[in-house]
Structures are given as structure tokens and as C-alpha cells.
Amino acid sequence: MKYNIIKIISKSLVSLLFFYSVCAVSQENKKNLNINEMMEPLKQDGIFRDTAYYNWGGSIIKGEDENYHLFYSRWKREYTFNGWLTFSEIAHAVSKTPTGPWNYKETVLKGRGHGNWDAITAHNPKIKFFEGKYYLYYIATNLGDKEFTHKDLIDLSTKSLKTKDRGTLRKNQRTGVAVSTSINGPWQRMDNALIEPSGPIATITVNPAIDKDSDGNYYLIVKGDKPNEKRFIRNQAIATSKSPVGPFKMQPNPVIGNLDTEDVSMWYDENEAVFYAVFHAHKFIGLMTSLDGLNWNKAHYYNITNKKIALDNGSFLIPNRMERPFIYVENNIPIALCLAIKKEDDSYTIFIPLEKKNSF
């Protein structure tokens, strides 16, 4: 009898130790995702360039057709690079792999014209699949009640933000969403923007990133100006909802509040029950993590890459600007890093293969 009791206690202790060891490994994995270590050299097929348009960033999703679908920003080169604020549109490209080569398919969203919150431009998309539907998040702007012509927008393309109307375009930027039952549309836009600036951000709500946790709660990250700040510094804020179309409730604490950052992309790892978010901070691409979607910290391997990308011919791409990071995840495994590149008067999007090594 005594021997049996000791045996039962021993088995219980072994089970308990195993449970804690699994938890420890899981917690360690949450800290040790190393995207930099996973990065492979960039191949020629992973460079998506258009001779007539500036390409800028992108968001990837795998369709029911087993193809990969890229939604990205583009605008005609004739309007100059600054024309993104007046002429950007959201285009759709298709590939057999998440790293290209990509083939343009169609333009899916443009500015809707005077009288709409998204009268001018459609820019910086994120494509998601929730609850049997596709959700295309994007940003746009308007000139308020002021009428405008195509020529007016051309003139504004090269103006400074100190110019009244271009300043209005900047401060009226908001985030919205279009919904479809098919990756090929048609896309139904909402009458109003998703969220207004408040709490940790002011002036604008732009560059959305969104995902949901295992309980069906949605977490939306948007960028805005840092309140009560004379310097040109942006904050990342987070809002929550029970629906992918809101209403979203702004949370009081910023995701990143001590560094001028932009262009967050996020995903929820169901296996680890942890959120990840990538961003750019002008000189590098960084990685944040969160266990609850509300409180964020630097990842253990915080710096993903500086502005120097290895090419498969042994040389390096060193851009002037490297922004709009997006990590395509399949079966909870990151397999491609998408980045917007500006080098001199050229802009295009690159797709870097990620290979699972000893990162997690």
C-alpha cells in the first residue's frame, strides 16, 4: 500500500514537472522568434517593380484557388513619389508562391470622389480573412467640403504639407475597410471610417494592422501623431472590438510610445497564444510581442534587420528608405518578409524568403 502511494506521488510529480517544462519551453519560444536568422538572400523573382507605377508595400493572403494574392499600393510615376497622398490606388497581384514572381491582376480600390470619407486615394492595404469573408483594410483622405478637380490633385502632389490643402489631406487621413465574400471582389465599402483619433494618438488614424485571438476578440493597431508633442513623432495605438468592422474601442496605452515608428503589421500565433508585430523605425525593422494584445514589449530578437538586404548574387541592396514590413504566416510559421523599398527615384516591393531554422 505504501509502495503504491509512493508510486502515485512519483507519477504525479513527473507529470507536474513535464507540464511546467512544456510551459517553460512555450514561454521561451515566445521570446525567441528570430526573423533575422530566418532571412534568406533576396532573389530576382522577389522584386516586384512596375515601370509605369511606384509600387509600395503589400499584404499577402492565400486564396481558395491555392494561389497567393497580394494587395499593394501603387500610383503613376508621372505624379512623382509624393503623389501617394493624392493618387494612390490599391492593386491586386497573383503568384504561385508568397515570394513571387507577382503578376498584376486588377485595381480594386481608388478614391471614391467628393462627399466620401475616402474621396481621395486608397493606400496601405491589409488583407485578412475572418468568419468566412475577406476584409481589405486601407487608408484614404478627403478635402472636406471643398470641391476639387483632377488638375487640383496634380498640383497638390508636389506641394509641401505646409500648403493648406495638402495639410488638410494629411490631417483627414483615416482607416476604413471593404468586405467581400470572394478574394476577387466585388468589395463593399463602409460609409464611414473605422475609428477616430483619441487617447494615445491625435490628428490621424492610419496604417492599420489587425488580427483576432482565440476568443474571437479583434485587435486593431493604428498610427497617429503623439499628443502634446511639438516634434514630428508618431504613436501606435490599439483598439479592440468583437467584430472585424467595429465598433472599435481605443485603449489608453500606446503599443509603442517611446520611439517614432510606422507601418505596423501583426499576427496572432495560435500555437503559442501570442501576438507578434513588426514595424519600421526609419533605420531598422523591429519586432514586438504581446500575450494579451494590449500590453506590448520588445521581442527577444528585437532588431529584424537594418537597411541592408543580402542578394542571392552575393551583393547587397542598400535603400534610401525601407518601410511597410509585412510577414506572411502560413500554419503559424513565418515564410516571407515583404518590404517597401525606395532607392533614389524608384520604389518597389521585395519579398524575402524565411526559412525555419533554430528560431523557435
Whole-number Å distance between alpha carbons of 324 and 264: 7
Mean pLDDT, residues 23-45: 75
Can the peptide bond before residue 334 be classed as cis, meaning omega within 30 degrees of 0? Answer: no
Place of cell 506572411: 328
Query: Residues near 285 by Cβ (< 8 Å), separated by ≥ 6?
Result: 278, 279, 303, 304, 305, 322, 325, 339
3-state helix, strand, coil in the chain (%, to 5): 20, 45, 35
In the DSSP assignment, the letter for residue 226 is P
Whole-number Å distance between alpha carbons of 79 and 90: 16
Domain ranges (residues) in the chain: 33-353
Distance of CA 209 to the CA centre of its chain: 5
pLDDT at 325: 98
pLDDT digits (tens, 9 = 90+) for 231-266: 888 999 999 999 999 999 999 999 987 788 899 999
Q: Decide if pLDDT at 101 tops 60.
A: yes
pLDDT at 25: 37
Task: Check: CB of residue 336 under 8 Å from CB of residue 62.
Answer: no
Burial of 7: CB neighbours in 10 Å, binned 0-12, 13-18, 19+: exposed
Q: Decide if pLDDT at 20 tops 90.
A: no
Whole-number Å distance between alpha carbons of 280 and 124: 14
Question: What DSSP string runs through 7-59?
Answer: HHHHHHHHHHHHHHHHHHHHHHHHHH--HHHHBPPBPGGGEE--SSEEEEEEE
pLDDT at 8: 44
List the alpha helices (DSSP H) in the chain. Answer: 2-32, 35-38, 84-87, 150-157, 164-171
pLDDT at 60: 98
Q: Decide if pLDDT at 158 tops 70.
A: yes
Q: Would you say domain 33-353 falls under CATH 2.115.10.20?
A: yes
Packing angle of the helix pair 164-171, 150-157 (nearest 10 deg): 90
Q: Decide if pLDDT at 210 tops 90.
A: yes
pLDDT at 28: 41
Mean pLDDT, residues 146-173: 95
Choice between 137 and 356, residue whose per-residue pLDDT is larger:
137
Q: Decide if pLDDT at 11 tops 90.
A: no
Task: Check: CB of residue 122 under 8 Å from CB of residue 88.
Answer: yes
Say if strands 89-95 and 103-109 run parallel, antiparallel, or are unpaired.
antiparallel
Residue 344, Ramachandran bin (φ over 0: left; ψ between -120 and 50: alpha; else beta): left
Beta bridge partners of 212: 218
Nearest to 236 by CA among 266, 263, 196: 263
**Residue 103 to residues 67, 76, 108, 297: CA-CA distances in angstroms?**
11, 17, 14, 37
Mean model confidence pLDDT for the chain: 91
Task: Check: CB of residue 102 under 8 Å from CB of residue 139.
Answer: no
